[in-house]
Structure 1
Amino acid sequence: MATQDTHYARTPRSEKLKWVDHISYLMDNQFRLPGTNFRFGLDPILGLLPFAGDLASFGVSAVLVLTMVRHGASGKLVALMMLNIGLDVLIGSIPILGNIFDFAFKANERNVRLLRRHYEEGKYRGSGKGIIVGVLIGLVLLLVFLVWALWQVAEWMWHLLASYF
């Protein structure tokens, strides 16, 4: 894994945030398509598993954002991160199109880049405990939406298959 020098990597909390980089890399860039520079991770692979894969990817992204919040991400930064996760969940749950989208979008990598920029600009504000409740509510709402959307897709597919038989 190619590590990048970041401001937060030099802070006392570096060991606690190192795993964020590692998990983001695993989810979005772990593997390389042979003969190309195109990289992908577990996120699009998990997306191939209907329902469970989308929920697992969402869970990993949610834990990463919560960790970043606990380590001082600002409210604006968290809103941008939630937008990335929301797009990933919304479009990523669409059969076939979502799988293609997951290969290209890389929400976790985008969120880590946002965190790096946040630290480099000196906007680190210490503990993000004040916005954790809001983030948790947002994540729960995203999860509810994901489950609802997956249910709708499954129901549509069931009716489609039932009409053939």
Structure 2
Amino acid sequence: MTKSTVERYSDPAIQAAVARIEAVSRLMDDLFVIPGTKVRVGLDSVIGLVPIVGDLISQAISSYIIWEARQLGVSRLVIGRMIANTAVDTMIGIIPLAGDAFDVAFRANMKNLALLKGHLAKHGHIRREAAGTGPVIDVRATRVG
């Protein structure tokens, strides 16, 4: 049996930004389960049902995640990958029916959340604690980047 871990961030501002990004990512890609299946979908899939306009609205909402990541000082490479994820999601999402199925499977916002968390971990902004114990890893940094 593995112990569960809790992620903490070295700066309360980073913690708050990640919480906002997680909320938007889950809202867009992982809000509810399709009844009778284990498939999770979010507002991206629902909004995307409206041809072209829905996908552009979803792109605008996804851009918020990229903006927040940029405010945290995430590298240009990671920002580029985030932009590519949302661009692919939008371009393929515009295709009727096939694009809607792609939206369910691709989950660009959750991918971008993972990229952000990976960047923060790589640069020492995440402390992982085993549930109910003290820090397992405690790496502190003064700035993101």
Between the aligned partners of 2:52 and 2:22, the Cα distance in structure 1 is 26
Q: As a proportion of its length, which structure holds more strand? A: 2
Higher RCO by CA contacts (8 Å cutoff, separation 6 or greater): 2
Which structure has greater helix proportion? 1
Identity, % of aligned pairs?
A: 35
CA change 1:123–1:75 in 2 (3 A) is farther
Residue by residue, what CA displacement relative to the aligned partner does 1:121-145 show, whole Å, maximum 9, x if unpaired?
11779467xxxxxxxxxxxxxxxxx
Describe the shift of the 1:101–1:81 C-alpha distance in structure 2 as closer, same or farther (beyond 3 A).
same
Q: CA RMSD, aligned part only?
A: 2.1
Q: Deviations over 1:20-49 (max 9, x none)?
A: 100100000001122332111010110101
Task: Give structure 1 regions of 4+ aligned residues with deviation exceeding 2 angstroms.
Answer: 4-8, 34-37, 123-128
Aligned: 1:43 with 2:58:
no
Give distance in 2, aligned partners of 1:90 and 1:66.
20
Which blocks of at least 5 consecutive residues in structure 2 are unaligned?
Answer: 126-141
Query: Is the contact between residue 123 and residue 144 of structure 2 (CA under 8 Å) also seen in structure 1?
Result: no
Counterpart-to-counterpart distance in 2, 1:96 and 1:6:
38
- Runs of 5+ consecutive residues of structure 1 not aligned to the other structure: 129-165
Matches within 5 A, 1:27-42: 27-42=28-43
TM-score by length of 1: 0.68
Cα distance in 1 for partners of 2:83, 2:37 equals 31
TM-score (norm 2): 0.77
Q: How many residues align?
A: 124
Q: In structure 2, what residue type is equivalent to 1:62?
A: S
Counterpart for residue 11 of structure 2: 11
Aligned-pair distance for 1:11?
Answer: 2.5
Corresponding residue for residue 106 of structure 1: 107
Contact 1:74 1:123 in 2 (8 A): no
